[in-house]
Amino acid sequence: MVRQAAGRDDELARRIQALVRDVLGAQAIRIAFLPAQLGMRRFARVTLEGGPVESLVARVDAPEDPAGRPPGISPEPPLEPLRALLEAQGLPVPACYGGNTEGHVLLLEDVGTESLEVFAQTAAPDARRALYAEACDLIPRLQRVSDAEGRVEAFRRRLDAAHFRYKADLFCTWSLAARGRAASAAERACVETAFACIAREMQQAPARLAHRDFQSANLYVRPARQASGRLVMIDLQGALLAPPEYDLVCLLRDSYVDLPENEIEAHAARVRPALPDAPDRETFARRFDLLTLTRKGKDHARFLYAAQERGDTRYLEHLPRTARQLRGAATRCAAREPRFAALAELIHALPESPCAE
């Protein structure tokens, strides 16, 4: 297995070297593959000689849809032309230096090594709040983007009932099993009914462009401030139309960073009236918590899936924080609407760490 992986990396490195030579007329003198994430897409930092920049990042798409989505969930589209559209409208995205004709490898700007997640771990509170405010301010700008020419697939994708069914299935299969036993038929029905109810409600919400994974790990801090600010967004290809609160849930109810509750509330209160649809406080808070249930339920399940199916245990350290986010949202949702009480009971029964078999 290790030998096969090494062989694949060698083959990818040769492809990247050839692409750098053909597109940029430069030599790739060093190629360092970056640690894999939850998806199957690969990234490599490439040091150049004789190129327009000293280094860039090669983005290599997986040959098949990496998430193993069931019927009804379409594979993520290519990064282009979405990246180019956002760039043209002044949003901070990595520059693109070119790619191969199939679109499987793109040569992108090297935006550095400091994500917002890394920054937040050591930043002083005032510096952290300021950079999170900048991140929040990107969301209304994203939601105002339109595709007049109809070229960008993100505007034909929507957070729909199939996505919520997928999240429910993941949560039932992996998160409920963390208690040491599989979900019963009644428990699975409880989750599926609740997530379907949320799906119907979200279909009534305004549909605005969402990054869809707008969390600290996908926002990078440039070494020097640019005209568009210090942050740059990566991992854009999953963008779709979603309720206005979706990206804020990803950012402020992050599995990777603990933000103080009063800080979350302050950021949400400040950005809410700046959203194009400016939802009222009650509607915003309600949709925010309902989306937290489904988003954090999916994240919780994906962390367990990665550990048990891929042997990648790096994400298990984030389970307690994710479970706390779930419990908080479940408590608030059940207090507003008793129909979510049964789901809240299941969520409150989740252990801090998976039960040993």
3-state SS of the chain is CHHHHHHHHHHHHHHHHHHHHHHHCCEEEEEEECCCCCCCCEEEEEEEECCCCCEEEEEECCCCCCCCCCCCCCCCCCCCCHHHHHHHCCCCCCCEEEECCCCCEEEEECCCCCEHHHHHHHCCHHHHHHHHHHHHHHHHHHHCCCCCCCCCHHHHCECCHHHHHHHHHHHHHHHHHHHCCCCCHHHHHHHHHHHHHHHHHHHCCCCEEECCCCCHHHEEEEEEEECCEEEEECCCCCCEEECCCHHHHHHHCCCCCCCCHHHHHHHHHHHHHHCCCCCCHHHHHHHHHHHHHHHHHHHHHHHHHHHHHHCCCHHHHHHHHHHHHHHHHHHHHHHHCHHHHHHHHHHHCCCCCCCCC
pLDDT digits (tens, 9 = 90+) for 303-341: 999 999 999 999 999 999 999 999 999 999 999 999 999
Report pLDDT for 8.
73
Q: Specify whether the CB–CB gap between 151 and 88 falls below 8 A.
A: no
Report pLDDT for 4.
41
Domain ranges of the chain: 1-110, 112-357
Count other C-beta atoms under 10 Å from residue 137's C-beta: 15
Nearby residues of 13 by Cβ (< 8 Å), 6 or more positions away = 31, 44
Instruction: Give the span between the Cα atoms of 79 and 233, in whole angstroms.
Output: 12
Report pLDDT for 223.
79
Report pLDDT for 356.
53
Report pLDDT for 63.
62
Report pLDDT for 74.
76
* pLDDT tens sequence for the chain (357 residues): 334 445 678 888 999 999 999 999 999 999 999 987 777 789 999 999 999 999 999 999 876 544 455 666 778 888 999 999 999 999 999 999 999 856 589 999 999 999 999 999 999 999 999 999 999 999 999 999 999 999 999 999 999 999 999 999 999 999 999 999 999 999 999 999 999 999 999 999 999 999 999 999 999 998 777 767 899 999 999 999 999 999 999 999 999 999 999 999 999 999 999 999 999 999 999 999 999 999 999 999 999 999 999 999 999 999 999 999 999 999 999 999 999 999 999 999 999 877 654
Q: Specify whether the CB–CB gap between 201 and 290 falls below 8 A.
A: yes
User: How is residue 212 written in tokens?
Assistant: 């869809």
Percent of the chain with pLDDT over 70: 93
Instruction: Report the predicted TM-score, pTM, of the whole model to 2 decimal places.
Output: 0.93
What are the distances in angstroms from CA 217 to CA 84, 127, 150, 232, 233? 21, 17, 30, 11, 10
112-357 maps to which CATH number? 3.90.1200.10
Q: Specify whether the CB–CB gap between 330 and 347 falls below 8 A.
A: yes
